[in-house]
Every structure is written in C-alpha cells, then in structure tokens.
C-alpha cells in the first residue's frame, strides 16, 4: 500500500520570492558577463579562476545563507541553490569552488561550531577573505567514510594529525580545511573527530594537482599531515561526533551538487538550442526537426523536475526539517539528468559537439563528477533506501 508520506512532503505550489528573483538576476548577469567568456580558457589551462572568487566576494554571496551577525547575507537555502545553478550554467568550476566553500566548510562551522568558533571563522569566510575546503575521503576510503585512517591523537591541548586526505576541492587555494580524522580505528564512525585546520599549520603539505576529466579549473589535490598540531579549540563538536558532522555537512552539500547539476544541464540545453536555431539541415534549421524538438522537450522536462526536487530539499532545510532523503533524491536525480542532458546536447551539435570549438563537450565532461562527488549515485540510492524502506 502506498503511504501518504510522499505526497505530504511535496510542495503544492512554488514561486520564487522577489528576493530570490533578484539574487537570480544579479548572479546570472555576473556569470554570463564575466564567468562564461573565460570558462573555456579556464578549462583548457586548468586554471583556478581566483578573479571569479573575488567577484563573488564583491557580490557578497560567499556567506549567503548565514546570519548577518557573522558577516553573512542572511538569505535562505533556495537562494543559495539558485546562485549555484546560475554559476554552473556558465562555469561549473566556479560553482563547485563556491559550493565547497559554503556547504562543506562554512555551513558545518555555523551548524556545529561554538559561538566563539562562529565569530572566529565565519566573518572572514563570509567576506571571501578566507576560502573553505572539506577533507573526508582518503586515498583508500571514499564511500566508506567510517574507515578513515588519517589519525588525530590528542596530546595536551592539541590534536596531532598524521595521514592524508584525497580529492580536496579548493585544494591548494583554500585557507580553512574541515578535516574528519580518526582517534581510534577500532571505533570506526564513533571515533571520528572534525577539526578546522588552517593553511600554514606545521607539517601540512599538498600533493600534486589532479588532472581531471572536467571542472578542470577547480583545484583538486591530496593534502598530507605529518605531526600537524591542531588546537583543541578548532574541534567542531566533540570527539566521536566527526561522522555526524560529516553527514550533516554532506546533506547540505548534496543540495549544492544537485543545483550544480541542474545548472550544467540547463546551460548545455541553452547552448544546444542557440545552435539548433542556426544550424541548417534538410532545408531548415534543425530546431524545426521533430527528432531534435523531442530531445529538447525530454531534456527540459527532466531538468524542471530536477530543479523542483532541489528546491524541495532546500525548502525542507530552510524549514528546519530533516532533509537527508530529500537532498539524496535531488542529488541522485539531478546528477543523472545532467549526464543524460549533456550527452543529448553533444548529439545535437553533431561533430561540432565532439570538438572544443563549442562548449557542448565541456558541459558533458563537467556533468560526470556530479554523479561521483559528495556521495556517488550508488550512495544516494543507499541513503534513500535506508530512509524509505524501514524493513531492516
Ligand atoms: N545526519 C546525521 N547523522 C547521520 C546521518 C545524517 N545524514 N547519516 C547517518 N548518521 C548517523 C547515524 O544516525 C548513525 O548514528 P549512531 O551511531 O548514533 O546510530 C551513524 O551516523 C552511522 O550511520 P550509518 O550506520 O548509516 O553509517 P554507515 O557507516 O553505514 O555509512 C553512508 C552511511 C551513507 C554510506 C555514509 O558513509 C556516506 O554518506 N558515505 C559517502 C561519503 C561521501 O559522500 N563522500 C564524499 C566525500 S566529500 C567530496 O566529495 C569532496 C569534495 O570536496 C567535493
């Protein structure tokens, strides 16, 4: 029998507020004018676009969902999803630089930090003076976060960190790294601790920049710790609460990636449609061919559905409800839509979709990571089924 759970959770109507429309317009303008024109060059040269970060800082969105008393803009998470989408439509690298900072570092500090920690870390992060990163995965552990082996040993008033973390977004560029480390391997998830590690800490070094398939401008690298002291005042929550911090962080982060996926899919659609209105075949522009029109129709149906799932998760977050499953639904669906849509867009461009003269292939490469990071599609299915099917 179907339960009423699903229908109760659906928003019956949804309209963006004046404030949300304003932030959408503002960020769309900056992203189209400033970020889109250099996206291909950033991709080609694997260049971290620091100037884009500075523009986001000048636009006062680096602390968008945090209260004004910590330097934030005090806006809601739907606005945050909108900003990430507008960035991803134009430059996926910039969207992940931004979402890793907000969702994966500043958010957990806000949610789990003491008043002293919020006041110390958040104002420079909200102004964009400091950039955040998140360090959970390791060379040997990805989906199984509880198997972390990077050790944090408490000695006096410092933890001593030893080990390495992998796939760090904003890698060498960040200032604050939220590191999930292990205090006792036998305890698995109950032994983890969340520490804010500052760049420049002794024994904290960086591995080589990864040569990735997509989001090539985002700085991704391994980070290493050798007897790195981290003051106990930099611990979020208590020893043993690191897993909870990581999972809560990822709940929010997954909405960010869903928004990124929606943006990539919509951006690719927009490019393909512009192309289809100019390209001629069989005596007409190809946007008049039914085969192509059906592709646009299918893609937009899925993109709209993905966006609604994303807003639905953001609304639940804003209402203070548990949104773990809603975020997993949004990330799972939106990332797979991004992949399907960008493959179709390459198809619409034909041979021109396969070369770098047009952006279609870049969107397809950028889309793939949304099915992998912040929990693979398989992990999202696991999170959904664990929450939905109470039969274990
Ligand atoms: N919020 C709060 N607590 C949570 C939670 C959540 N969303 N999910 C689980 N927990 C709690 C559980 O209640 C449980 O608590 P108790 O011990 O008190 O009972 C505890 O955490 C353990 O839960 P599980 O038994 O469900 O844990 P598990 O070991 O089976 O793992 C998992 C669950 C879903 C597989 C989890 O490990 C997971 O999400 N893995 C994927 C990790 C991931 O997404 N990695 C991406 C890295 S980040 C990145 O991509 C880098 C970047 O910079 C972009």
What CATH code is carried by the domain that includes residue 324? 1.20.140.10
Q: Which of 240, 262, 294 is the last residue of a domain?
A: 240
Closest-lying ligand 1 atom to the alpha carbon of residue 104: 53
Same domain assignment for residues 123 and 194? no
Q: Which pLDDT value is given to residue 14?
A: 75
Q: Is the CB of 137 under 6 A from ligand 1?
A: yes
CB-ligand 1 contact for 310 (6 Å cutoff):
no
Tell me: do 157 and 215 sit in the same domain.
yes
- For the chain, the 3-state helix, strand and coil shares in percent, each to the nearest 5, are 60, 15, 25
Is residue 118 a contact partner of residue 279, using CB atoms and an 8 Å limit?
no
CB 363 within 8 A of CB 342: yes
The CB of 312 under 6 Å from ligand 1? The reply is no
Atom of ligand 1 nearest to the CA of 168: 53
Q: Are residues 213 and 256 in the same domain?
A: no
Q: Is the CB of 276 inside a 6 Å radius of any atom of ligand 1?
A: no
Tens digit of pLDDT per residue, the chain (392 long)?
334 444 455 555 678 999 999 999 999 999 999 999 999 999 999 999 999 999 999 999 999 999 999 999 999 999 999 999 999 999 999 999 999 999 999 999 999 999 999 999 999 999 999 999 999 999 999 999 999 999 999 999 999 999 999 999 999 999 999 999 999 999 999 999 999 999 999 999 999 999 999 999 999 999 999 999 999 999 999 999 999 999 999 999 999 999 999 999 999 999 999 999 999 999 999 999 999 999 999 999 999 999 999 999 999 999 999 999 999 999 999 999 999 999 999 999 999 999 999 999 999 999 999 999 999 999 999 999 999 998 65
Best probe residue, ligand 1, of 189, 221, 335 (max atoms within 8 Å of C-beta): 189
Verify that 259 and 232 share a domain, yes or no. Answer: no
254 plus 154 within the same structural domain: no
145: CA distance to ligand 1 center in Å? 7
Q: Is 212 in the same domain as 307?
A: no
Q: Is 51 a catalytic residue?
A: no
Instruction: Give yes or no for residue 102 CB within 6 A of ligand 1.
Output: no
Distance 70 CA to ligand 1 centre (A): 28
Residue 325 belongs to what domain range? 243-391
Residue that the structure tokens 């004004």 belong to: 68
> How far is 144 from 114, CA to CA, in rounded Å?
28
Same domain? For 291 and 378 the reply is yes
Split into its structural domains, the chain has a count of: 3
Q: 168, exposed or middle or buried, with CB in 10 Å at 0-12, 13-18, 19+?
A: buried
245: Cα separation from own chain's centroid: 16
Q: Are residues 196 and 255 in the same domain?
A: no
Determine contact, residues 333/343, Cβ cutoff 8 Å. Answer: no
Ligand 1 atom with the shortest distance to the CA of 253: 54
Q: What is the pLDDT of residues 211-258, one digit of tens each?
A: 999 999 999 999 999 999 999 999 999 999 999 999 999 999 999 999
Counting atoms of ligand 1 from 1, which one is nearest the CA of 375?
44
Measured from the CB, is residue 247 less than 6 Å from ligand 1?
yes
What are the DSSP calls for 48-66, one per residue?
--HHHHHHHHHTT-TTTTS
Residues 370 and 286 in one domain: yes
Nearest-10 Cα torsion for 342, 348, 354, 357: -100
What CATH code is carried by the domain that includes residue 140?
Answer: 2.40.110.10
Could you read off the pLDDT of 89-123 as tens digits, one per residue?
Answer: 999 999 999 999 999 999 999 999 999 999 999 99
Asked which of 208, 240, 272 is the last residue of a domain, the reply is: 240
User: Are 329 and 260 in the same domain?
Assistant: yes
Residue nearest to atom 6 of ligand 1 (CA): 247
To test ligand 1's pocket by mutation, which of 101, 103, 223, 244 has the most ligand atoms within 8 angstroms of CB? 244
Q: Are residues 91 and 200 in the same domain?
A: no
Both 108 and 207 in one domain: the answer is no
Selected catalytic residue, list 302, 361, 371, 374: 374
Last residue of a domain, one of 202, 217, 240: 240
Closest by CA to 336, choosing from 309, 356, 360, is 309
Asked whether the whole model's pTM tops 0.85, one would answer yes
> Candidates 112, 139, 247: which one to mutate for ligand 1, based on the most atoms within 8 Å of Cβ?
247
């Amino acid at each position: 029998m179907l339960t009423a759970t699903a229908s109760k959770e659906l928003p019956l109507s949804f309209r963006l507020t004046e404030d949300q429309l304003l932030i959408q317009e503002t960020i769309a303008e900056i992203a189209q004018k400033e970020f889109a024109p250099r996206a291909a060059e950033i991709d080609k040269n694997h260049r971290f676009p620091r100037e884009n970060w500075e523009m986001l800082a000048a636009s006062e969105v680096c602390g968008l969902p945090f209260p004004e008393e910590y330097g934030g803009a005090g806006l809601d998470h739907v606005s945050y999803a909108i900003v990430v989408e507008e960035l991803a439509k134009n430059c996926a690298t910039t969207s992940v630089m931004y979402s890793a900072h907000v969702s994966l570092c500043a958010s957990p500090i806000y949610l789990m930090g003491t008043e002293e920690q919020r006041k110390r870390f958040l104002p420079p992060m909200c102004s964009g003076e400091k950039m955040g990163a998140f360090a959970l995965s390791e060379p040997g552990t990805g989906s199984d976060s509880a198997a972390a082996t990077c050790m944090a040993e408490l000695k006096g008033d410092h933890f001593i960190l030893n080990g390495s973390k992998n796939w760090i977004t904003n890698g060498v560029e960040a200032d604050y790294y939220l590191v999930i480390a292990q205090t006792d391997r036998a305890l698995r998830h109950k032994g983890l601790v969340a520490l804010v590690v500052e760049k420049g800490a002794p024994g904290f070094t960086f591995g080589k920049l990864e040569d990735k398939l997509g989001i090539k401008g985002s700085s991704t690298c391994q980070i290493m710790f050798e007897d790195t002291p981290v003051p106990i005042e930099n611990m979020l929550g208590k020893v043993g609460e690191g897993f909870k911090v990581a999972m809560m962080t990822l709940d929010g982060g997954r909405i960010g990636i869903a928004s990124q996926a929606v943006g990539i899919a919509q951006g690719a659609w927009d490019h393909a449609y512009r192309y289809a209105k100019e390209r001629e075949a069989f005596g007409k522009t190809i946007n008049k061919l039914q085969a192509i029109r059906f592709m646009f129709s299918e893609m937009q149906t899925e993109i709209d559905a993905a966006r609604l799932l994303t807003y639905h998760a953001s609304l639940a977050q804003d209402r203070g409800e548990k949104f773990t499953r809603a975020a997993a639904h949004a990330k799972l669906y939106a990332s797979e839509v991004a992949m399907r849509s960008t493959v179709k867009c390459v198809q619409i461009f034909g041979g021109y979709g396969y070369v770098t003269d047009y952006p279609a292939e870049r969107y397809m490469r950028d889309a793939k990571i949304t099915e992998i990071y912040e929990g693979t599609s398989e992990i999202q299915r696991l999170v959904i089924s664990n929450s939905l099917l109470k039969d274990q």
